[in-house]
Amino acid sequence: MNKKKILIGFSIVLIILCISGGVGYQIIRKKQLKIEDINNHYEEYVIINKDTKIYQKENNEYIEFGKVKESMTFMLEELEKKEEPEEYFKLKNETYYLYYQDVIPQDDITIEKKKDYYLESPEKIKTKEKTSFYKNDEIVLEFNQSMEFSYFQEKEDAYQIEYLGKILDLKKDHVVKMKTENKKEQAEYIPVLKIETIKEDCTTNLCIKTETLKNDLKILQENYDLWKNGSIFLKKGAIYLNTENDSESISKLLAEYQLETITNEEKSLTITNTSSRREDNFIQTYTINEETQEEHIKKIIAGEPVIYPKKEEPKYNTNSLKTLPSQDKKASQIAVLNYHFFYDPNGEECSSSICLDSNKFREHLTFFKENNYKTLTMEEYRAWIYGEIELPARSVLITIDDGAKGTGRHNGNKLIPLLEEFQMHATLFLISGWWAKENYESKYLDIESHTFDMHTEGLCSTETRGAKMLCSSKEEVMADLKKSIETIGSNTAFCFPFYAFNHSAIESVKESGFKLAFIGGSTKSTRDQDKYKIPRYPIQSDITINQLINMIA
């Protein structure tokens, strides 16, 4: 009898365990399915699958905050890894949440932004009671409270804002402007439009057709008018037009489009080149020609670099020109060119004979590119002159001495943007104790030594060129070269200050580990010459394109 009772009791316990185990399994499985469901709805980008609610979190509860229209897209914060993930997804960088079943994952969405050249208004606007966001005159988002915004464009019936990765409208009859002591933000820079020649019919890209200029001015006018009447806040409010040709035609066009300009007499302007942002008191310059497209005008308005794919330069005078070497021929000699300073004659001055108009330098680079010349890195040149590699006969080594006017980002910035625009290489021999290497860094510009602080003339009574390097002790010279190598980070090549050298100076350069040293001259370099007296063609301000061609041919 007792055995029978024990058996019945055991059976009852077993049945209870089976039932509870089955229920437990169902609970666990249901939990797993929900976690999978939440994860399947999550992605960085989502789209709303129906008109639904948007929430805020208060005291660990999700409270309805507003409504959102079907098909609206959003970015989400990264989903936290939890044993039991939240059922609400948080919007990226916001305090709003969406219920997970109200969204569908997307691979990508379009993020809308205001145009780069628009500024936020210094004034604030505040919505009345609720905040209704419009898109194409339809409410797409609505919050249950008043909110403040800065707008970037005032339309006839609405203020346009950038919010939640979208361009949205706030209707004027639902907002009030808030009082502010702020003045409108001043222009950050003034685009300088440079026009070479205006003609009805142009044969080169240095000229611009009247009709083309009209179209360009129309784009500028549209944005300028919006700025002028306060509908938008541009990053600048005036245009400086610079031309030496046909100013009467330009005046007529400006009058037609009611564009305002400033002149050098009205403001003191220092003009930079076409590829750099404003630095300190430097002003952006843009050349307007037949290659200028609407996309370029928009960049001009934004003060951004404008790079044309290719420029058609005037045909060169072929009288008395040397013939360029065959493109298949290997180099037996290579021209080394020596530049110094660069300036823009439209607003800048440089009286030195070694100052070069930056437009001439552009002309030189254009010739190299159009005639398939290889502009060498210093390492390529070193390897060639030591017989380690072969180079095409159409090769040239561009060098720049010192690091002064127009060569760095801190002193005019003419050199680097042109090298980067044309994707051509050059070497700067830097006086590294005078200017920091960081001012000149570019993958198209090698930095080599021009001493640390020995670029001083007139100290040596026994030397006609009198560079400090020639009458200092060897210990002083070696110490200076060591500092130069440390600051520059290279001892591949050296350039003698003022082209001045003597036996002691050359020995110091060799002992410092330099592989090459450069001087002046008027001949091409060859493999069998003294590698510590490599000649270079000094480039003078009055150089013609024909003279350049004869140097490198």
Would 202 be classed as within a structural domain? Answer: yes
* Statement to judge: residues 232 and 209 lie in one domain: yes
CA pair distance 101, 464, nearest whole angstrom: 87
Is residue 471 scored above 80 in pLDDT?
yes
Would 346 be classed as within a structural domain? Answer: yes
Residue 537, number of CB atoms within 10 A of its CB: 23
pLDDT band at 361 (very low <50, low <70, confident <90, very high): very high
| Mean predicted confidence (pLDDT) in 289-305 | 71
> Which 3 state secondary structure label does DSSP give 244?
coil
Burial pattern 289-310, b for ≥16 Cβ within 10 A else e, equals bbbbeeebbbbbbbbbbbebee
Domain boundary among the residues 287, 302, 317 is at 302
* Statement to judge: residues 536 and 457 lie in one domain: yes
Residue with tokens 């050098």: 264
Is residue 185 scored above 60 in pLDDT?
no
* Statement to judge: residues 249 and 279 lie in one domain: yes
Contact between 206 and 313 under an 8 Å Cβ cutoff? The reply is yes
Number of domains in the chain: 4
Contact between 130 and 142 under an 8 Å Cβ cutoff? The reply is yes
CATH number of the domain at 128, please. 2.30.30
Would 11 be classed as within a structural domain? Answer: no
pLDDT of residue 503: 92
Is residue 438 scored above 70 in pLDDT?
yes
* Statement to judge: residues 246 and 141 lie in one domain: no
User: H-helix or E-strand containing 106?
Assistant: strand 103-106
pLDDT tens sequence across 510-553: 999 999 999 998 899 999 999 999 999 999 988 999 999 999 99
CA pair distance 346, 489, nearest whole angstrom: 36
Is residue 311 scored above 50 in pLDDT?
no
Nearest Cα to Cα of residue 48 among 134, 143, 141? 141
Tokens representing residue 286 in the block: 């843009």
Nearest Cα to Cα of residue 495 among 442, 527, 447? 447
* Statement to judge: residues 417 and 483 lie in one domain: yes
As a whole number, the mean pLDDT across the chain is 81
The domain of 287 spans 192-302
| Mean predicted confidence (pLDDT) in 105-115 | 87
Contact between 198 and 250 under an 8 Å Cβ cutoff? The reply is yes
- Angle between helix axes 474-488 and 503-511 (nearest 10 degrees) is 40
pLDDT of residue 321: 79
* Statement to judge: residues 163 and 215 lie in one domain: no
Residue with tokens 């969204």: 103
* Statement to judge: residues 84 and 124 lie in one domain: no
Give the best-scoring range by mean pLDDT among 183-192, 208-217, 329-338.
Answer: 329-338
pLDDT band at 187 (very low <50, low <70, confident <90, very high): very low
* Statement to judge: residues 418 and 371 lie in one domain: yes
Residue 189, number of CB atoms within 10 A of its CB: 15
Contact between 73 and 106 under an 8 Å Cβ cutoff? The reply is yes
pLDDT of residue 213: 77
CATH number of the domain at 443, please. 3.20.20.370
pLDDT tens sequence across 48-75: 999 999 999 999 899 999 999 999 999 9
DSSP string for 140-162: EEEESS--EEE-SEE-SSEEEEE
| 104: β partners | 47
Is residue 116 scored above 70 in pLDDT?
no
Burial pattern 218-238, b for ≥16 Cβ within 10 A else e, equals ebbbebbebbeeebbbbbbeb
pLDDT of residue 254: 66
* Statement to judge: residues 149 and 227 lie in one domain: no
Would 286 be classed as within a structural domain? Answer: yes
Domain boundary among the residues 134, 152, 177 is at 177
Would 449 be classed as within a structural domain? Answer: yes
**Alpha helix positions (H), 144-293:** 210-228, 247-257
Nearest Cα to Cα of residue 135 among 101, 110, 99? 110
Domain boundary among the residues 59, 79, 106 is at 106
CA pair distance 425, 519, nearest whole angstrom: 20
* Statement to judge: residues 421 and 366 lie in one domain: yes
Would 340 be classed as within a structural domain? Answer: yes
| 149: β partners | 125
Would 86 be classed as within a structural domain? Answer: yes
**Alpha helix positions (H), 117-209:** none
Contact between 446 and 426 under an 8 Å Cβ cutoff? The reply is yes
pLDDT of residue 36: 86
Contact between 340 and 353 under an 8 Å Cβ cutoff? The reply is no
* Statement to judge: residues 365 and 428 lie in one domain: yes
CA pair distance 510, 532, nearest whole angstrom: 8
Would 37 be classed as within a structural domain? Answer: no
CA pair distance 52, 69, nearest whole angstrom: 7
CA pair distance 478, 205, nearest whole angstrom: 52
Q: What percent of the chain has pLDDT over 70?
A: 72
Burial of 273 (0-12, 13-18, 19+ CB in 10 A): buried
The residue that leads in pLDDT, 189 or 288, is: 288
Give the up-direction half-sphere exposure of residue 140: CA atoms within 13 A in the CB hemisphere: 19
Q: How long, in residues, is the chain?
A: 553
pTM score over 0.75: no
* Statement to judge: residues 385 and 407 lie in one domain: yes
Is residue 315 scored above 90 in pLDDT?
no
